[in-house]
Structure 1
């Protein structure tokens, strides 16, 4: 049996497709508004947390990209309110992943007040994204942040002949080479394997799977397709 191996590891830091890379983190904006706890749960399912800006430059980056993101969705400025990973309880501010007070704060005048609630950013004053405590059970947009996965252990992928895995798709997109698909699988926390489809000309389609051949629930999920190459 012929096996082709290649390694994807920490020599190249990448963000999953659809995420924005900045310094040592990856960011993504939620397409719909939601409650604070829903936003944090959604980020958690992605292997991330609600963003907590730890400097003015990071804060300005997030707010600028968020404003552009909502502008592309044709969202009016007064609705541009963004949850961050901080909440106030009994007068104590806690932020996700922060021990003690956050390294950076950008409060509106008169904030934070004594009410319990969660922290959101908006452009109500000075158009630079001021912070305010508000009720956690109202809908706001959200941004997730996770560390660039450059510290993840290297992953070894092997080509499995005469096999392709179906019905376990996470996402798919075009790539130029198998290494590009391997990088994407390495950067995606849920990815366990991938299919590489050869298309017309030199184009290829990468499909990330959330299972390996051993995880397949049904033997009919495993097929032999002439234009499909499976790696795990």
Structure 2
């Protein structure tokens, strides 16, 4: 008895491949592959999610609303790896709002992505310090230290870290 394996592999525009893994040069390794194929334009794909740093600066509350308007949520990293990826998207010496605050109870920080509580924290040494009534968190790139969180006044204007689920791609 013989088994016949048919493999279809075709190159598509924009460095995208469609087919089953069978390329001898390992150029295509998934059913559908493109760097940001599962994200809207100007969003960045990582870990099955899409990320966008807004160009416009907002208060923390307005940042949450803007992410919702864009089809996502105000994000918050849930691991060192996600935190490191996100920092790469932030302009040097910049910061982005993340969905982390102690607005309900001073000193009790809630970090949520949508309705899901995130346990991960990456506070800069000495933070959160509630200096000058700071109740909302940012992820900074190049302040006192890179890639760590700081508490700020929620009324301050900063960019937003927006996140949405990526469209699934079939991996074989």
Shorter-chain TM range is 0.5 to 0.7
* Partner of residue 63, structure 2: 39
Match of residue 119 from structure 1: 137
Post-superposition offset of 1:125: 2.4
1:3 alignment partner in structure 2: none
TM superposition shift of 1:149: 2.7
Structure 2 partner of 1:66: 90
User: Does the 8 A contact of 2:111 with 2:119 survive in 1?
Assistant: no
Q: 1:145 to 1:111 in 2, by over 3 A?
A: same
- Distance in 1 of aligned mates of 2:161 and 2:116: 21
Q: Which residue pairs with 2:95 in the alignment? A: 81
Q: How many residues align?
A: 129
| Partner residue, 1:22 | 46
1:141 aligned to which of 159, 167, 172? 159
Alignment check: 8 A CA contact 1:91 1:116 kept: no
Q: What do residues 170-215 of structure 1 show as CA deviations (whole Å, max 9, x unaligned)? A: xxxxxxxxxxxxxxxxxxxxxxxxxxxxxxxxxxxxxxxxxxxxxx
Match in the other structure for 1:93: 109
Aligned pairs (5 A) from 1:50-65: 50-65=74-89
Task: Give ranges in structure 1 of 5+ residues lacking alignment.
Answer: 1-10, 68-76, 152-232
Q: Distance in 2 between matches of 1:39 and 1:132?
A: 16
Contact 1:84–1:120 (8 Å) recurs in 2: yes
| Structure-2-length-normalised TM-score | 0.67
Structure 2 counterpart SS, 1:61: helix
In 2, are the aligned partners of 1:29 and 1:142 still within 8 Å (CA)?
yes
Cα distance in 2 between the residues matched to 1:37 and 1:50? 10
8 Å CA contact retained: 1:88, 1:133: no
Q: Residues 31 and 44 from structure 1, CA distance in 2 versus in 1: closer, same or farther, beyond 3 angstroms?
A: same
TM-score (norm 1): 0.50
Higher helix proportion (structure 1 or 2): 1
State the SS of the aligned residue for 2:124.
coil
* Consecutive unaligned residues in structure 2, runs of 5 or more: 1-30
* Structure with bigger RCO (C-alpha 8 Å, 6+ apart): 2
Q: What root-mean-square deviation, in Å, do the aligned CA atoms of Structure 1 and Structure 2 show? A: 2.2
